Every structure is written in structure tokens, then in C-alpha cells.
Amino acid sequence: NFSTVLGLGMKQESTSRTVPIHRLAIHEGKAMVGQNQNSRLLEVREVLSFYASTCPGSSLPPLREFENLRVMDMESCELSLRDSNLEELGRLKLLKYVGLVDTPMAELPRRIGRLKLLETLDVRATSITELPPFVEELRKLRCLRAGKGTRMMGRVGKLTCLEELWLHSVDKSPDFAAELQKLSKMRVLVIHLDEVDEGMQKKLVVSLHKLRKIQVLQVWSDAEEKARLGGRDWEGSVPSSQLRQLLLFGIILPRPMPWIDHLRVPKLSKLMLQVETLEVQHLQILGQMPSLRFLCLHIHCYDNRLLYTAGKHEFMVLAYLYVVNIELICGEGALPRIQELEVGGIRVGTDVGLRGNMPLLERVSYHLDCWSCSPVEVINAEEELRQASQAHPNSPVLIIKRWDGVDVCSIPFQGAAHLSEEATKSTINPLLSGAYGQIPQAGYLHCRHTTTRESPHHEAMEPVSLPMIILQKISNNFSTKRILGQGHRNTPALTMKRSNADVCSPSFQGTEPEWF
């Protein structure tokens, strides 16, 4: 269990040459530079675990010397795209873990196919475009993670020991939808699709239903045409009762699956769905889920918007709630543990139940539907929300966004942008063995967002990640012609944009995992 950490300006400690080093970490790598070959501190042949962070390739010891290495994790190292040192990986027959996250590589060394004991291969955020067919020879692989721009060229069904799989562009992998059902040990599945046709949809759903040990299921699609999955495909089979996360982004269902209830998936803690229609009874069922802490619901069609009042005995552990086209009102004593709330589609003048409820609330965002309302009515409604927020015992940050008849969807729904931050907390655990990064908000930094912690006369703006004080330029996607920003303390440049009038519902802009 002897360990040595080098780098980061730390002074090299003298260590007895008779003491073996089993764990070696090099940070900002200068540890091996200038060391005499015969008088190195490190007897790397004894090293079992090697970690390198932000190191140039020249500072790393030759990998062929790590004869007994079990774990190799190189993160953000500055290697050339075809570093010859990495070709030596195939010689390390005892390797069980290979991590190359954020380390530039043009291709996966072919000799990796010889690592018959390898259990984890993580190549996210590299320059690798393909996982060659020889990857399917790694029959003991339990965890495979690949990121955006990396396609699996072998048949994933041959990796029958897989328990965790992260893959991008799975529709480009050979018969992926059918191969998936062979992975009976799968617990964590995070996949992205570029395009989805009807045939692949059916095969994919059939395969997913056969994964009886699945605990985390995330399916992402950014195709121009949203994938619409048939309700019967999903309703035909009940998933594992161990399911903890179900996130479907860019995939539209007719309605929530009937098996989502407290009896059949009692451990479900995170749910993200886009549906054509939603009824009151669906929300009532979700409100009884005993473990549900994160909920993101989007009714795709504006014409199917729903009015719902949350009751006192519903959503008892829910901490994060984001809804679109659901006019959600907090009843007396409802949402006792909610910390973040975003509601897309509140009619002007509606009492949202902010006063006296939600004692743990830290951040709340309301999208006001200003259709057919006078400016005075809108201003009065905003002032009422501000007063309710200021009177709240927890003083939550309040963000107000406006829609009108022309720009019904000009202000994108931001709720899923917080998903990456919240997901970081929930995925840093032994189950996922990974995490999401905080993704900067893409697109416009929309103004017309008024917070209770800024003067309302300044039309204060609160971007997701930029400090207010350094904001130099904003873009307003709201059609009403009104001079904004002149009173802002930083006098930002203001850009006005008009959206098409035929857009009928708020856009749903989920934040994908870091590697997508």
C-alpha cells in the first residue's frame, strides 16, 4: 500500500530503495525529467497503480517498464496524437483499468486488444474517431466509456461482461440495437443517437426491455427530426425494479410509460421525459414516487398545456423540478424539499403559491405567458412575484421570463441546463464511476430575467455561468420593442432579435453530458 505523489511543486522526499512503491501519481509532470536512469527514486516495476495528470509526454516514464501495472489513468496529458509510448500498452498483460480522458490520441493502440484481463476502458474527450473491431476481443471488459466523435466499429454484443456503457452515435455501430440485448449484465447505459428510424426504434426498445439489471438509462438524440417512440413499444414490458435513473432527451413519447409508479420502479430518483400529452393523473402518480428527487417534464405541444396544483402529500422528497407547458401551482404545504423550480407557462395574474410554501427553495424561475395581456398586467404580475419571493423565509433567487403571442417560445427553457450540475452530484458514486462537467450555456444570454437580488429597474440578468459584473454583451430574443439595459451598472451592448411567429411551444434545451 506504499504510495508516492510527485509534481505540483512538491519537494521530493528521500525514500529507502528497499521500500517498493505500489501507487505512483505524477502531477504537472516534471518528476522524471533530469533523473539518472540508474538512480531514479521510482522502481516502476513494482508499481501497481499509475496516475498522471496534465503531464507532457516527455515527463512520463516508459510504459514498458511497468511490468506489474494493474491500473493506468492518464488525464489531460499533453501527448502527441501518435505517441509511441502508448504503443507499449499492449505489453502490460496485467492491466485491468486504462483511462485516457482528455488525452489527445488519433487512434487506439492496436495492441490493446491483447489485454485479456482489461475490465475498464475510458477514452472520453480524446481524438479517437473509432473504436476498432479488435475492442470486441476484450471479453472481460465491464466498463466502456467513449465520447463525442468516437464510434464503436465492433459488435458490442460480444462484450457480454459489460455492466457500464457510454457510447456516442450508436446508430453508426454495426446492428447496435439488436446487439444490445446480449448485454444481460448491463447496469448503466448512456447512449447518443444521431438519427433514429422506426425500425431501429423498435429493436432498441425490445433490447432495452431485456436488460433486467439496468439501473441507469440515459438516451440522447439531437436529430433534426425529434424521435417519436410508439407508446405500445414502451408499454409492453416492465423494466427492472432496480431502475434509478431514466433520462430521455430528444425523444418524444405519446405519454408517460404506465409502469412508472411507486410499485414497479420504487427506486427511481431521476426522471426526464418529453411527451405529446400529459394528464393530471400522471402527475399524481409521479407525486407518490418515494425516491424521486429530480423531475424534468416537457409537454411538446403548446396546445396540450396542463394546469396542475401540487398537493401537500405529493413529491415529498423532490429537490429539482423543471416543467414546460405545465402551469404548476404550489398548494399549501406542497413541495417541502424543493430547492430549484422552473415553470414554463404561467398565466399572468396566477397565484403560483410562492408565499408560505417550499421552505428550502433556493432558486425559482417563472415563464409568464403574456398572450393578450396589457403591459400593466404583466408588470403587476412580475411585481407580485418579486414581493412573494422577498417575503419568502429562504429569500430564493427569482428569475422572471416573458412570452408573448409572437414570441411564445423565444425564451428557451433553461431547466435542463442545470441537469449537468445536479447530475454531477448524483453520478459521482460507485454506480456510475464518472461525472458530468458543467456545460456553459449555449446560445443567447437572454435578458428580461429579473432577480430579487438585483434592482428591478436595471432589468438585471443572471446567465448560468457568467458573473454579472463582466457581462459585456447580451442578446434579447423578445419581440416587444423596448429599450433595455440602459440602467444596467455595466451598460452592456443590447441586441434585439425577432423570432418567427409560427413557433408554438417553448423550446427544450437540455444540456448533454460533457462527452456528447
- What are the boundaries of each domain within the chain? 20-27+42-117, 129-251
Q: How many of the other CB atoms lie within 10 Å of CB of 371?
A: 12
Q: Is 269 left (phi over 0), alpha (psi -120 to 50) or beta?
A: alpha
Lowest mean pLDDT among 172-186, 336-350, 389-403, 484-498: 484-498
Q: What is the average pLDDT across 229-256?
A: 79
Q: Are 294 and 269 in contact (CB under 8 A)?
A: yes
pLDDT at 180 over 70: yes
From the CA atom positions of the chain, what is the Rg in Å?
A: 26
pLDDT at 280 over 60: yes
Distance CA 242, CA 188 (A): 11
Provide the whole-model pTM. Answer: 0.75
Lowest mean pLDDT among 58-67, 121-130, 169-178, 213-222: 58-67
Q: Provide the pLDDT confidence category of residue 347 given band limits of 50, 70 and 90.
A: confident
pLDDT of residue 225: 60
pLDDT of residue 254: 86
pLDDT of residue 232: 61
pLDDT of residue 393: 92
pLDDT of residue 352: 92
pLDDT of residue 504: 33
Lowest mean pLDDT among 11-15, 276-280, 421-425: 421-425
pLDDT at 386 over 90: yes
Q: Strand 216-221 vs strand 245-253: parallel, antiparallel, or unpaired?
A: parallel
pLDDT of residue 490: 54
Query: Does 145 or 436 have the greater pLDDT score?
Result: 145
Distance CA 209, CA 186 (A): 12
pLDDT of residue 42: 54
Distance CA 353, CA 296 (A): 20
Residue 204, amino acid: L
SS3 219: strand
Choose from 60-69, 260-269, 416-425 the range with maximum mean pLDDT.
260-269
pLDDT of residue 96: 94
Residue in the block written with cell 400529452:
277
DSSP track, 184-210:
TT--EEEEEES---HHHHHHHHHHHHT
Greatest CA span in the chain, whole angstroms? 83
Q: Are 138 and 154 in contact (CB under 8 A)?
A: no
Q: Are 54 and 29 in contact (CB under 8 A)?
A: yes
Q: Which of 78, 204, 83, 97 is nearest to 142 (CA)?
A: 97
Chain centre to alpha carbon of residue 140: 28
Mean pLDDT across the chain = 74
Burial class (CB in 10 A: 0-12, 13-18, 19+), 397: middle
Distance CA 125, CA 75 (A): 10
pLDDT at 310 over 90: yes
Q: Provide the pLDDT confidence category of residue 460 given band limits of 50, 70 and 90.
A: very low
Lowest mean pLDDT among 149-158, 163-172, 209-218, 221-230: 221-230
SS3 460: coil
pLDDT at 438 over 80: no
Q: Are 360 and 340 in contact (CB under 8 A)?
A: no
Q: Are 444 and 407 in contact (CB under 8 A)?
A: no
Burial class (CB in 10 A: 0-12, 13-18, 19+), 253: buried
Distance CA 274, CA 394 (A): 31
pLDDT of residue 181: 92
pLDDT at 433 over 60: no
Angle at 268 between CA 267 and CA 274, to 5 degrees: 170
Q: What is the average pLDDT across 382-410?
A: 80
Distance CA 460, CA 481 (A): 17
What is the grid cell recorded at 272? Answer: 426526464
To the nearest whole percent, how much of the chain has pLDDT over 90? 36
pLDDT at 508 over 70: no
Cβ-proximal residues to 379 (8 Å cutoff; 6+ apart), any chain: none
Distance CA 167, CA 144 (A): 8
Q: What is the average pLDDT across 25-37?
A: 56
Query: Does 42 or 164 have the greater pLDDT score?
Result: 164
Lowest mean pLDDT among 334-348, 401-415, 469-483, 501-515: 469-483
Distance CA 315, CA 297 (A): 14
pLDDT of residue 227: 59
SS3 345: strand
